[in-house]
Structure 1
């Protein structure tokens, strides 16, 4: 596997973390609204979880492999 540019990965992490935070705020606003669309709320939560998984995967790519 080719060496990946840590700078690009870090930039992707910043973008994903911002989107994750924005989704968290949107979910909180929708959850507070009694008339909110449940399907939209579920989709936002699912998207937030996918982004969290993507963040975790990118973070693990930044950790160097150590031979045991």
Structure 2
């Protein structure tokens, strides 16, 4: 089943914010390490993908008018 770009974009942004939260918690507990950089990388990819999908949704919506 295929989701709309809006739903996928929101999901990816929520996931990215969650990874940012985990990275902050990890830095507070253990300082910077491999796991922290991995979480930052995942958050960056998820937020970037989420924003791209949200822009795609609005571009498609404006193209239908």
TM-score > 0.5, shorter chain as reference? yes
State the TM-score bracket (shorter-chain normalisation): 0.7 to 0.9
**Partner of residue 19, structure 1:** 15
SS in structure 2 of the partner of residue 41 of structure 1:
helix
Please report the TM-score for the alignment, with normalisation by the length of structure 1: 0.70
Higher helix content, 1 or 2: 2
Please report the TM-score for the alignment, with normalisation by the length of structure 2: 0.73
**Higher relative contact order structure (alpha carbons within 8 Å, sequence separation ≥ 6):** 2
Q: Is the deviation greater in 7-16 or in 25-34? A: 7-16
Structure having the higher Rg:
1
**Partner of residue 60, structure 1:** 55
Aligned length: 60
Give the RMSD, CA atoms, in angstroms.
Answer: 2.2
